[in-house]
Amino acid sequence: MSAKQTLALSRIQFRLICFAFFANLVFIPSISTHVMQGTWGGHSAMNHLPDSMVSLLGFSVESYTLIAWHAAAALALAAAMFAQFVLAHREVRSARAVAVHRALGPIILGTLLPVFLFFALSLSLAVIHTPFNHVMFTVLPVMILYAVVRALIGLRRGDRVLHADSMFLAFMLLESAPVYRIVMFFFLWLGGPVLAPNGEPVDGGALFRTLIVLALLTFGYWSAGRLRRNVLPLVFIGSVLALSLVFLPWSLTGAPSR
């Protein structure tokens, strides 16, 4: 095994994973605002997401409650997945680490992942209404599920590289949330809006988030010399973005519904 690798991951892939996980610190202001003021969004009232009632499995739920559940589920899944990468790290790998890694896997698959997918899809389908954001927020949990299934196929075949690369894909897509938040910070810093007049997030956030995550994934696979082997999911996500830009109404600083 190369000294530049963490099991089947390249050193750069592992560093990207660490960076992506600790990027969740950018949510501290949002969580603080939610705890103190009961709102989601920025500190300014003009950047607060609207709180509306949505129907979820026949029950009426406040969108703020759904956002909070989604955030908690995503953070729990991210923490568990990050722990799996750390446990598989060549410098800490031991018989006990392997045992914990194997025990944590079924918990992720049987509990944390399904809960996250439920709330992520509920949020993208019930709370987000503008076409471009609707598609770009829905494709993420779908591709995370695809990546995990792909990882299980690799595990079943004894293909450790496919397993690791697929979980790298799943984790980086999951951690597109802090990337999105950082993009929105830049929008505010440049004096641009983060919410359209209809209360929806501006389409530019999802656009740049997707481009940045695709760039990080490409860089990670290239660093391991396995870009060609993993190009299909990247091409698919890029194609969804390209087709959305061509056929759906969108605006860099707005969120048109038609």
Residue 44 lies in a domain: no
Residues 36-52: pLDDT tens digits?
A: 777 666 655 556 676 77
Residue 56 lies in a domain: no
Residue 98 lies in a domain: yes
Give the residue-averaged pLDDT of 78-98.
Answer: 83
Residue 144 lies in a domain: yes
Full-model pTM:
0.91
Host domain of residue 139 = 8-33+67-247
- The mean of the pLDDT values for the chain is 89
Whether the per-residue pLDDT at 246 is higher than 90: the answer is yes
- How many whole angstroms from its chain centre is CA 45? 26
Give the residue-averaged pLDDT of 163-168.
Answer: 96
Question: Strand 59-62 relative to strand 9-10: parallel, antiparallel, unpaired?
Answer: unpaired
Non-local CB neighbours of 239 within 8 Å, separated by 6+ positions: none
- Domains held by the chain: number: 1
Query: How far apart, in Å, do the first and last CA atoms of the chain sit?
Result: 53
Whether the per-residue pLDDT at 20 is higher than 90: the answer is yes
Q: Residue 177, class by beta-carbon neighbours within 10 Å (0-12 exposed, 13-18 middle, 19+ buried)?
A: buried
Residue 182 lies in a domain: yes
Q: Within 13 Å and on the Cβ side, how many CA atoms surround 99?
A: 3
Contact 139, 209 (CB under 8 A): no
Alpha-carbon distances of 157 from 23, 154, 161, 171, 241, rounded to whole Å? 33, 5, 11, 21, 32
Give the residue-averaged pLDDT of 90-106.
Answer: 80
Question: Strand 9-10 relative to strand 5-6: parallel, antiparallel, unpaired?
Answer: antiparallel
Which pLDDT score, from 0 to 100, does residue 81 have?
A: 97
Region for residue 41 given its phi and psi (left: phi exceeds 0; alpha: psi -120 to 50; beta: otherwise): left
Residues 110-136: pLDDT tens digits?
A: 999 999 999 999 999 888 889 999 999
Whether the per-residue pLDDT at 1 is higher than 50: the answer is no
Residue 154 lies in a domain: yes
Whether the per-residue pLDDT at 217 is higher than 90: the answer is yes
Residue 151 lies in a domain: yes
Whether the per-residue pLDDT at 55 is higher than 90: the answer is no
Residue 38 lies in a domain: no
